Structure 1
Amino acid sequence: MAASLFLLLAVILAFAGGSGPWIMIATVAAATAAGTRLPDLDTPLHLQHRSALIHSVLPFYVAMLDLRTWPVAAGLGFGIGFHLAADLFPTTMRGFATIKMPLLGSIGVFASYLWIAVHAAANLVGALIVLERIAADRVAACALGVTAVLGAGYLLRAQGGLYALAAIAGLGWLFLR
């Protein structure tokens, strides 16, 4: 439910909030908050748990269809990327934890790990690219700061999130070096 409300707020900000830097930061932040929980909407939407439709880069690309919603896309990319990074570290990767393709079912253990890793990376990298294109350097830095706080807050509470946080922090450090 919270994912839907944050996504609605982000879309409203994108369409009616104006073009100021704080609106951009708020839009990315709201969409990031939505993205951390969006993949969990698979059950209420009557999809199988860990449905490939929303445990993927697809929501990011859907948000990219309109130029006005690119800040929403950036936030969704960050949020879903964080969620998928935590999903890389389940207690066990079988049955309930594997990725499910519509009409086909589970894709298996190794393919699920690969799917999650590729889509987590695609979401995070795509979000960085979009944010760089739509925001000035200072605005992008502020949005990244807010996103980092939201992402860390989510990952510290999520199962497997501590490992994901360490991996993302390590990769971020390597990227900056």
Structure 2
Amino acid sequence: MRFDENVGSAPGVDALLFLFAAITLVALADRWPPLALCAVPMAALAGTTLPDLDMTLGLGHRSGLTHGVLPVLIALWSPRWRPVAAGLALGIGLHLSADVFPNGMRGFATVKLPGVGSIGRNGSWAWLAVNAVAALAIGALLVRRMASTGMTLAILIVVAVIGVAYLFVTDGGWPALLVYGGTGWALVRRRAIARS
């Protein structure tokens, strides 16, 4: 088998391609700064599948190294890469939110930590939920700090479309969509009540 015949079948490899594109956009932003903001949705696309790179790397499925905020923290190493970190955070948050709703939280579906192994059913739910919320919060905060209110809204709308498309087709995505939809409705409703 040749690599080019199987590049689409290795979990997480597509994430590396989108991540490379996001990094390239940030690198080119020296010449045209708006490209840095374009990197956010590209990195978000990468983040939706990056956690499953654990299988390709031989770490075992649901490795705590990839199914958490660690990739985001690595991207935050340099302030220059904040647009990449923001997008990764949003995409990983979407991926982890779908992983909170597996068909069954046992065996393959549980989170595994290096040197520890599986953290069990309840530990896995807690790990995924806490890291999903943390990743989404980090991503939204980073985008807000990088752009004006209007541009932040535009970026988050593009990422929301990516998120809906991803969650629509992935296992566990429907319950996550319901949670996001309900939360979004409650926030909009709360704001409307506060204004009246």
For 1:56, what is the secondary structure of its paired residue? coil
Shift in Å, 1:60? 1.1
SS of the equivalent of 1:164 reads helix
Query: Given the alignment of the two structures, is residue 4 of structure 1 paired with residue 6 of structure 2, yes or no?
Result: no
Paired with 1:131 and 1:68, the residues of 2 have a C-alpha distance of 13
Please tell me whether Structure 1 or Structure 2 has the larger radius of gyration of its CA atoms.
2
Cα distance, 1:13 vs. partner? Answer: 0.8
Partners in 2 of 1:108 and 1:123 — Cα distance?
Answer: 22
1:146 counterpart residue number: 158
Does the CA contact (< 8 Å) of 1:86 and 1:164 recur in 2?
yes
Q: Does 1:112 align with 2:112?
A: no
- Bigger relative CO (Cα 8 Å, ≥ 6 apart): 1
Q: For 1:106, give the aligned amino acid.
A: S
Match of 1:132? 144
The residue number in structure 1 matching 2:33 is 20
Partner of 1:155: 167
Q: Give the distance between the partners of 2:150 and 2:69, measured in 1 at CA.
A: 27
- Supply the AA of the counterpart residue of 1:132: R
- Read off the aligned partner of 2:129 and give its amino acid letter: A
Flag structure 1 segments of 5+ consecutive residues without an equivalent: none
* 1:174, distance to aligned residue in structure 2 (A): 2.8
* Aligned-partner Cα distance in 2 for 1:140–1:12: 21
- Of 56-65 and 9-18, more deviation after overlay is shown by 9-18
Q: 1:100 aligns with which of 87, 103, 112?
A: 112
* SS of residue in 1 equivalent to 2:104: coil
Identity in percent: 45
Query: Structure 1 CA distance, aligned partners of 2:183 and 2:44?
Result: 19
Corresponding position: 1:166 with 2:174? no
State how many pairs are aligned: 176
Q: CA deviation at 1:135?
A: 0.9
Consecutive unaligned residues in structure 2, runs of 5 or more: 1-12, 191-196
Offset, 1:169 = 2.1
- Whole-Å separation in 2 of the counterparts to 1:141 and 1:90: 31
